[in-house]
Amino acid sequence: MVLTGKTALVTGGSSGIGLAAARMLRDNGARIAITGRSEEKLALAATELGGDVLPIQADVSSREDLILASGRIKEAFGSLDILFANAGAALGTPLATTDEATYHKIMDVNVKGVFFTVQAMLPLMREGGSIVLNTSWLNQVGTPGRAILSASKAAVRSFARTMSAELLDRKIRVNAVSPGSIETPIHRQEPERGRVPRLCRPGRRAGAARAHGQAGGDCGRRALPGKRGFELYARSGDRRRRRQIGALTCF
């Protein structure tokens, strides 16, 4: 196994891209911890993943939850080799009608959550480890009704650059994956509930969470030596890019 003896944490690992990434990491031999807000969904995910997966109920927008999660991982694993900061929130934010509560909900999960996830887990990260941040193709385009979501993902893209520079002395790589429109539970919610519907170009289908989970967790297939602060895009159905992105977590 490529990752035998390695340990990994996937936030938002109870469904969608996170669950698919956790499965890929486990299949490659890593010991896995996953976080999620729903105890029920975590239990189902842990059963599906099998083995000695460590499910941790935690809200990434809560520093207290993240500190407690770090303590549980330290107790169970001792240290971490891989962190996939995947948890995120996606809500439509029309300029004329979006309220302050929606702004904070998105930013608290997508920006604050990513920053303090890395901060909380950093003491556990081994020298030479890999941190992967899940951003979005929205950080590069102007999509009506998604200003706050897009801005939050642009912030995550910036984190990959700055964190990579800051962690250079510890030889910890920080990179970003930028998937296109993916068929996940977030995107299957009804539009009237404020969720973001699937965003695809006309005539193109949304990508599968399983395939893009492989992008975040498929380790050891191909190597990108020396890549830091890097972002790779995975369009729907773009297998070549998914393999390249998967290489970001190689050891």
Here the CATH number for the domain that contains residue 53 is 3.40.50.720
Q: Rounded to whole angstroms, how far apart are CA atoms 138 and 240?
A: 20
CA dihedral 234, 238, 244, 245 (to 10 degrees): 30
Convert 154-183 to b/e letters by CB count within 10 Å (16 or more is b): bbbbbbbbebbeebeeeebbbbbbbbbbbb
- Residue 66, domain member (yes or no): yes
Residue 56 has pLDDT above 60, yes or no: yes
- Residue 2, domain member (yes or no): no
The predicted model scores a pTM of: 0.79
211 confidence band (pLDDT: 50, 70, 90): very low
Q: What is the mean pLDDT of residues 45-72?
A: 96
177, 156 in Cβ contact below 8 A? no
β-pair partners for 45: none
Return the pLDDT at 219: 36
Q: Say which residue, 134 or 220, is predicted with more confidence.
A: 134
Q: Rounded to whole angstroms, how far apart are CA atoms 217 and 136?
A: 16
Alpha helices in 130-207 (DSSP H): 147-166
Domain that holds residue 239: 7-249
Lowest-pLDDT range, 25-34, 85-94, 138-147, 224-233? 224-233
Return the pLDDT at 143: 77
pLDDT in tens, 101-140: 999 999 999 999 999 999 999 999 999 999 999 998 776 7
Residue 227 has pLDDT above 90, yes or no: no
- Residue 1, domain member (yes or no): no
Q: Rounded to whole angstroms, how far apart are CA atoms 200 and 219?
A: 28
Q: Rounded to whole angstroms, how far apart are CA atoms 160 and 131?
A: 9
Work out how many domains the chain is built from and give that number. 1
**Phi, psi values for residue 127, rounded to 5°:** -60, 135
Q: Say which residue, 230 or 154, is predicted with more confidence.
A: 154
Return the pLDDT at 223: 34
Residue 210 has pLDDT above 80, yes or no: no
Lowest-pLDDT range, 147-151, 166-170, 214-218? 214-218
Q: What is the mean pLDDT of residues 148-173?
A: 94
**Maximum CA pair distance of the chain?**
52
Average pLDDT for the chain:
80
Q: What is the mean pLDDT of residues 143-148?
A: 85
226 confidence band (pLDDT: 50, 70, 90): low
String of DSSP letters for 187-202? GGS-GGGTBPPP---T
